Chain A
Amino acid sequence: MPTVDLRATAADQRILAATRRCIARWGVAKTTLDDVAGEAGCSRATIYRLFPGGKDNLLTALAQREVAALFDALRLRLDGVDDLEELVVTGITEAARRLAGHDALQFLLAHEPEVLLPRICFHQMDSVLRTISEFAAPYLAPHVGPDEASRAAEWLARMVLSYTACPAPWVDVRDEESVRRLVRAFVLPGLVQQATLRG
């Protein structure tokens, strides 16, 4: 196993956490490396050493860290859940709550959509869906088969994203009972149908 420099790891996590706080407060355009350094209590040189390439790389690393944190949180809730309905309901609700409660993400959606949207719309959304599907498909595979699991995972991701970005008055994707109604109405019959079509 490669040795890990614990101090360096701690420093880069501290810098990423500081970057997130700055974005939640001022947005991407107004956040400078000096702001991040001040917030993290380190020097600009340390940021450049740990994130060569400056602000762009810092933002990419932050996005990767936040996605990994979301998946970790979902794993905690989903590991060991055997029932298909529970998996789907818990997965959608937990993901929606975390997106709604993410300070930096919500700042960008409200005040700097032009920074965020080009990375997550049209063709870019296809790669977002692929990432989510790679995470979620293994949970669905025992229930719907490995082939259908990837598509089903993408489908659930579409639902989380659509109802989060543009809420409907008749469903609250952060509320478990509301999601259960949605899932029973539109998702479970489709998963059964998929299984039937595949024989």
Chain B
Amino acid sequence: MDLTVRERILEAAYECVARYGLGKTTVEDVTRAARVSRATVYRYFPGGRDQLVSEVIAWETGRFFGRLAEAVAGAGDFAGLLEEALVFAHRAIEEHEVLQKILETEPERLLPQLTVQSERILVFIRGFLLPYLERERLRPGVDPGEAADYVSRMLLSFTASPGRWDLTDRAQVAELVRTELVAGILEPAETV
């Protein structure tokens, strides 16, 4: 695969984080794994270790959402899209070995970053949802931007912490979407 130097460094940094953790990964580790010189790493990441660690988190977060967008691309309508997104994202987080290891052993190094970035994450999800929402028949008075923001927040919340919902159970996910996510947004389907 033809990666840019920057991507090759990030890829290597991700491998190092997977192996050593966020706290113990050093610029030397990344230099060795990426087979580039120290000077090259510093040219792309002048902030050194700290910048590398924070950018590798942003990079993997972006890749996560890329996989999510691919997984839900075939959904028929907005409610279906949200169901697919909840099922996929919840499973992907549970099965994300590097994320789970960090949450277990050094959550204090990751969570502030995810929180600082949560505005960026919300912006990203909103932008993704909006075109789908604009194709739907909305209830009178609903602002698509506000609705997309509300749904983005709830998606993040349920994905990280499902609480009383079992997100591996399709029937529960469908009920959750119809009640807590879209009931106030979409015009109710015609009842037969």
Residues of A whose CB lies within 8 Å of any CB of B are 113-115, 117-118, 121-123, 125-126, 129-130, 133, 150-151, 154-155, 158-159, 161-163, 165-166, 168, 170-171, 182, 185-194, 197
Contact = CB atoms under 8 A, between A and B. Distances in A.
B111 A114 contact: yes
Contact of A192 (B103, B115, B165, B183): B183
A44 to B, nearest CB: 27
Nearest to B162: A126
B107 A121 contact: yes
A95 to B, nearest CB: 15
B160 interface: yes
A123 B100 CA distance: 11
Given A151-B165, A162-B156, A185 B184 contact: yes
Nearest to A171: B146
Given A114-B112, A118-B107, A192-B183, A165 B178 contact: no
A190 B180 CA distance: 5
Interface residues of B, number: 39
B179 A154 contact: no
Interface in B137-183: 139, 141-143, 145-147, 149-150, 153-154, 156-158, 160-165, 175, 178-181, 183
B33 interface: no
Q: Is the interface of A mostly helix, strand, loop or mixed?
A: helix
A125 B161 contact: yes
B72 interface: no
Contacts of A171: 146
Given A162-B153, A186-B184, A114 B165 contact: no
Contact of A197 (B103, B149, B175): B175
B115 A113 contact: yes
A132 B22 CA distance: 32
Contacts of A166: 115, 118-119, 122, 153
B161 A118 contact: no
Contact of A117 (B115, B146, B162): B115
B109 interface: yes
Contacts of A155: 180
B62 to A, nearest CB: 19
Contacts of B156: 162
Nearest to B185: A186
B108 interface: yes
A192 to B, nearest CB: 7
Given A117-B108, A117-B112, A185-B184, A163 B178 contact: no
